[in-house]
Homo-oligomer: A and B are copies of this chain.
Amino acid sequence: MVNSWATFGVDLHLEPTGPGLRRGLTDALREAVRTGRLAPGTRLPPSRSLAADLGIARNTVADAYADLVAEGWLTARQGSGTRVAAGVATGAASPHGEPSPSGAAFPPGAPAGSGVRPGSAAAPATTGPVSRPHEPDRPVHDLRPGMPDLASFPRTEWLKAARRALNSAPYHAFGYGDPRGRIELRTALAGYLARARGVRTDPERILVCGGISHGLKILGTVLAARGVPTVAVESYVLRWHRALLGAAGLSDTPLPFDELGTDPGELSDEGAVLLTPAHQFPMGVPLHRDRRAAVVEWARRTGGLVVEDDYDGEFRYDRQPVGALQGLDPEHVVYLGTASKSLAPGLRLAWMALPPGLAGEAVEAKGGIDTCGVLDQLTLAEFIASGAYDRHIRAARLRYRRRRDALVAELARRAPSVRATGIAAGLHVVLRLPSGTEQATLRAAAWHGLAVDGLHRHRHPDATAEPCDALVVGYGTPPDHAWSAALDALCAALPE
């Protein structure tokens, strides 16, 4: 169902019923405020009349208003009605300038789900000719983190966008293009990232790349060329990302980690720090507001570079989104985003918003040419511009939230000794296990045909944080029809 609330220039794309309806309305209003289409001070229609206008229940509108008042986007005063709050800047991620210390969960920019991991893929490469089967072996249930539900890739909508994009593209778009990527996509991304993630950038400073891995490779080359010897990383971090930094000639050192997230207090002359601020991978906590400020302060003081891996920033469920750290200081933070979680890794499309001083070096490190196919770039640009991307994200968010809710409820019933953390966002949770049971649980999982990661896999070897036993469970990967069985197998594998 699509309603157009034309009076305010707000396009509402609403689920017909259920929690998605309220969420859709809340999101649309938040976006309208954030983008300035609803200016500060604007008085919103009474909930009763908006409800009648949209053909929905008054309570739904009242709840949406209440959510947005709680988040600070709207104000409600007796006798004055509901108004857009003063001081909510266009493009801001949050009216408070900082996110609440809740979470947004995220999967990383590295292969995990469908069987081929960078590590395992490289392994046979060193031992001779590659002779793996056509499709990598897959476990019965794949709950490793880092993959969205590939079965829900919007094939029909994507093809429609491809048709429009291909038919309207000038012929020279099919040539060797701007090394930064197609201008249509960079323009669409600049708008989307400002609106949805609070990123402050413009198309001239966006660099399209072939995945977060590619982005890190480019940045590693730039940092190495600048003479940066070491990059600070988090205590929990993807091995693959460390390997990419290593391949560029950079060493890495872990920052301390506690319940407020990664602690940047020990940053000194590293030159760069790689963080997952919205939803620490894999722990799931967002970086605390004080620490966000501290990281930016460090970068300003030392001239260091902050690399923000926002791999799953689109997926947050319980609170308002954690805006991008980049929005605090676009001069010192590189923002990295990707279509790998929001659409599919197979697109091989990701993007960086670069500080002005870095754009030229990054283009050079990319090789001076556009390495990404223009047809997918043009299609994604059309997909975003037409609103199909937002609709897809909204539907995916609802799907994953339901899965998460089912997971948490089922765990409480069947595995009460297991505590689910990092659940506020993203496509994975961390299941804390009784001490000393991680290896046994992984064996039990394998016995149940389940692929899942142990937390130790993602712990930096030099991390000082107390090791804890846990599973990292990606609930995005199974197709809908297989989700219940996967959840059942997971519960069967967990200690009771």
Contacts and interface: CB of A to CB of B under 8 A. Distances in A.
A330 B134 CA distance: 22
A2 interface: no
Nearest to A477: B175
Contact of A348 (B113, B125, B356, B370): B370
Interface stretch (A33-41, A46-54, A156-164, A270-278): A156-164
A114 B373 contact: no
Given A210-B371, A359-B129, A171 B183 contact: no
Contacts of A349: 373
A174 B151 CA distance: 9
Q: Tell me how many chains of this kind the complex includes.
A: 2
A413 interface: no
Contacts of A163: 159
Interface string A260-283: 000000000000000000000000
Contacts of A205: 129
A369 B111 contact: yes
Interface stretch (A7-15, A24-32, A339-347, A430-438): A339-347
A83 interface: no
Nearest to A179: B121
17 contacts: A124-B360, A124-B363, A125-B360, A128-B357, A129-B357, A134-B178, A134-B183, A150-B174, A153-B171, A158-B166, A171-B479, A175-B345, A175-B346, A177-B346, A371-B371, A372-B373, A373-B373
Interface of A: 111-119, 121-122, 124-132, 134-136, 138, 147, 150-151, 153, 155, 158-159, 162-163, 166-167, 170-180, 183, 204-205, 210-211, 213-214, 217, 344-349, 356-357, 359-364, 367-376, 479
